[in-house]
Amino acid sequence: MEVTLTPERAAHRQTGYEPSPILDPPVALPLPDYTADIEQAKRDMSEYGLCRLTGVLTPAEVDALRAKLGRQAAAERALGDLAPLNATGPKQLVSNMQNKGREFLKLVERSEVDELVGSMLGKYFLISSINGGIFHGKTTEPQQLHRDQGSVPATVDFPAHCNLFWLLDDFTPARGGTWVVPGSHRWPAEYQVKPPPREMAVQIEAPAGGIFLFDGRVWHGAGVNTEGHPRRHISMLFCLPWIRQQENWGVSCLQEVLDEASPKLKVRLGLRSYGTLGIVNGTRTKAKKGKSLGSADVVFPEYIIGEDAELHPLRRVSRATDSPRSNETQ
C-alpha cells in the first residue's frame, strides 16, 4: 500500500507579534495616546507602528544618564582631528556606546526591552546599534523621512527592526521632536519605497523618562531644533537574529565588554549563534557541542587556521590597546 508523506506543520510562530490590517488606501493615523501600560504599548505598536510609554526611568536615572552622555560627548569633541565626523556640528551623535559605560548597557537588559522588543522580534533579537544624541545649538533642516527597515525588501510584511529611544529630555516640536507617519508600517509594499509627503507626518511629543519606540517600517525623520535645547536621548536599534547588525560588533566591541556581559547581553550582542549564523571557526575550544543546526554560545578560538594550517592569533580590540591619546599622557 502506498503511503503519502507530509511534512510536519510548525506549532509556533517566530514572534508573538499580531499585525493589524493593511491600510489601503495608505493613510496617516493620529498619534497614539501616552500610556504607562506596557500591554497597551504593544497594541499601539501593532495599530500605529509606535508607542509612547511613560514613567520608565526615575528622575535619578535620567540625571545620571544625562551626565554620563554629556561627559562622553565632550570628551569625543575634544579629540580634535581624531574626533568622529558626527562629533561636530549642532547635533552630535555618540556611537558605539556599548564600549562607553555600563550605564548604557544596563538599558539593553531592562524588562521593558524584553517585553516590547521581544513581542516584536521574538526572544532572540539582536541589538543592532546603540547611539546617543545631543544638540549643541539650533538646526535649520529636518532629516529626510526614511524607514529604518530600508535594508529589507518592502514586500516583507513583518517588523525586522524596531528603534527604541530612551528620552532624557522632553521631546517637543521646538526641540526637534521626531517626525513620524503613524500607521505607515501597514501600507502596501508599493508605498514603502519612496518617502511620503512631509505633510502626512506629525511630530512626537513625549516626556523625559519615557520610551518612544517605533516599528522599522514606519516613515520618520528628526525635526528642526529651533530652541537649541540639548534634547538628549539614547537610541537602540534592534533587529531579528538573522539580519546583519548596523554596528560591526565583531570588530568594534571591546573584549572586556564581552567578557563582563551577562548571558542575556551576550545573546543580544550576537555572541550566540542563530542556527548556523554568527559562528567563529578556528582551533578547538571548550564550547559545548550542540545540534548541528541549533544555536549555541559563541566562544572565540585562540587561533584562526590559515593556509597549510598556519595558526594566526585571534586578536581582539581591548582597553589595554595603546592609543595616540594614551601615549601623549605618558
For each of the chain's 330 residues, which pLDDT tens digit applies? 788 888 876 655 678 788 999 999 999 999 999 999 999 999 999 999 999 999 999 999 999 999 999 999 999 999 999 999 889 889 999 999 999 999 999 999 999 999 999 999 998 999 999 999 999 999 999 999 999 999 999 999 999 999 999 999 999 999 999 999 999 999 999 999 999 999 999 999 999 999 999 999 999 999 999 999 999 999 999 999 999 999 988 889 999 999 999 999 999 999 888 888 888 889 988 876 655 556 788 888 999 998 888 999 998 899 886 666 655 544
| Distance, CA of 162 to CA of 149 (rounded, Å) | 8
Triad 198, 201, 203: Cα angle to 5°:
120
Secondary element (H or E) of residue 74: helix 59-77
Q: Strand 91-94's sheet: what is its strand order?
A: 50-53, 211-215, 161-167, 233-239, 126-135, 91-94
The whole-model pTM stands at 0.91
